[in-house]
A and B are shown apart, each in its own frame.
Chain A
Amino acid sequence: MSNLFNLAISGLNSAQAGLTTTGHNVSNAATPGFTRQQVLLSTSGGQGTAAGYFGRGVQVDTVRRMYDSFLTGQLNTSKTTGAALDAYESQITQINNLFGDKTVGIAPAIQTFFASINAVASAPADPAARQEMIGRSTNLATQLNSANAFLGNLREGVNTQLATTVQQINSYVERISDLNQQITNATASIQGQPPNDLLDQRDQLVSELNQIVKVNVSEQGNQINLSVGNGQTLLAGTRSYALHTVQSAADPTRVSVAYTLPDSTVVELADNQIDGGSLGGLLQFRSESLDKVQNDLGRMAAGLAIAFNAQHAQGLTANGSPGADDFFAITAPPAIENAKNTGTGAISSTFTDANQLTGGDYKISFDGTNYQVTRMADGSAVATTANPGPPPSLDTAEGFSLQTSGTPVAGDSWIFQPTRNVARDIAVTVTNPGDIAAADATGGSANGSNALKLAQLQTAKTLGGGTMSVNEAFSQLVNQVGVQTQRVQVAAKAQDTLVSQNLAAQQGVSGVNLNEEYISLERYLEQYRASARLIEVGTTLFDTLLGLRG
């Protein structure tokens, strides 16, 4: 009889546990990252008697989290790729929009510039035509400057975002580390019962962290370890290692992600060692798109300036003096010294042939006796012919030659970006309309022969090894931006579909279905009522026993 009461109580307790858990599920149906919980019941075993084993009721074993680590891992992986693509897309769309309208910007500036040269060629003595040409050439330089400034702003934006993103990573890692500690404490204080909600919180943090950068998770007991890239540890148990951003030693205009070793050495992570998440997307955008677009824009400006200057210098101005050879002033940049160089070597450059410029970046290294020039895109070596000078210089077949000075030490390296900043620096130096060299060497105020040749540069193939005119180089640039944007957009859309499929699978196991919970509520309620009835029956039995004497 007392057994009945015990049985009833066990039923009541387990029903109550079920109701609590179901209520918890219902309340958290909209909580992000919530994994539904289920009460696991089992019988309390049996009591043996001569007449048989009598069951002792029901017991609650545990509250189980309906969690599938494989599905969750799959979802995280697809989400991290999706976040990377989204970050890439939002950056490259800005460049895409910059080149969107072909009636404003660089393309019409090129056309009106060459039209103004034609006007001068047809009427070289007309001061209005000359003034117009000065105005149009300044406009073209300004358009190139402002397009480059836009790209420069994007670059600054990427640098800033890298810094904030890394700070976010560090804060997530801190919070996960705290949770590791809490989970360990919670598991230790109640032996064998998993702290479901803490685990849910930790999983949610890991998922959010994955949106920022792809992390590898490994479990150690009931704590997790995190690492990025090829195994750089972020979190080992409760010990966290922070990332930070530094000015890249090789290129001070770039911000790199780095970590500090215990002995205070700063190790930079290369751009391609970090993938996934918005951090990976930003880094991929910078190296695949931003650098390339800025270089190509600079190459176009260099091609225009070098060809124009060369032809202009062959003509005579209105008062018979030779034309300036820096109508469009551009500077061939020096190579950027690596901050870790120990020698005093410096390398400057000059442009030799715009037609051979590739728009790529180069790495120069010194091995003690010779300089090596390699292309950064694929690491292949560039053939150079060294002139002893003095000063010693290296000629290349890629459109530039390098002049070396100072004393470098073996192991020193430089980065050389020949066309990166040409569009930033290009400016018109001729302001006086009379200084336009429209006449050829025979002179005369009605002589427009040199201007005729300058006008023909519009369709002359001055870039790409004799395959592209200036306008064609620009249209190729626009085409590349369009292709890259399209590729990223399509990939992002496809990834979006994949993410939603994985989400559906994961939610299929872990998500709360309110209809289901409603039915569970009814079921546990029913069980509660039934167990309450059991008490009533037990009470009736007891009363009957008591009522025997009277």
Chain B
Amino acid sequence: MPRANRSYLEGYRECRESLQELSRGVQRNVGKRALQATAQTAVRVLKREAPVSADPYNKTPGSLRDSVNEGKSRSERGRPRHAIFIDDVAAAPVEFGTSRMEARPWVRAAIDAARPVLARVMGRALKEEVDKAAQRAARKAARAKG
């Protein structure tokens, strides 16, 4: 059975402990915002690595790069999910090739090379969001007492 690929995040246990002191709704929002920050970085990486056609007959060079965008955040089985779309008509043929065109895979290569960066962005965003949520919760508790 293939195992999930691993990235290493330090301080995750402490972050998780702080998060578990907050309400479920707040936890989901923290996860959603951290994912969003990571997705935005991934979009920048993909735009940078996207191949741009040098064909002089191509009337829309750069359309593949320009089509890379983040989708909306949503929840799936209680877990936040953030998608990245590449919806240019050339996306699948370039990535996977066709019977008339050899594949020029770039999406997976770009994301794999950027994994350490994406892990750092995720870790930093999680910490920031957990800290902000904990401060808001503390202020709210203080107002309720006072």
Q: Do A and B come from one complex?
A: no
Please report A residues at the B interface, Cβ cutoff 8 Å: none
Please report B residues at the A interface, Cβ cutoff 8 Å: none
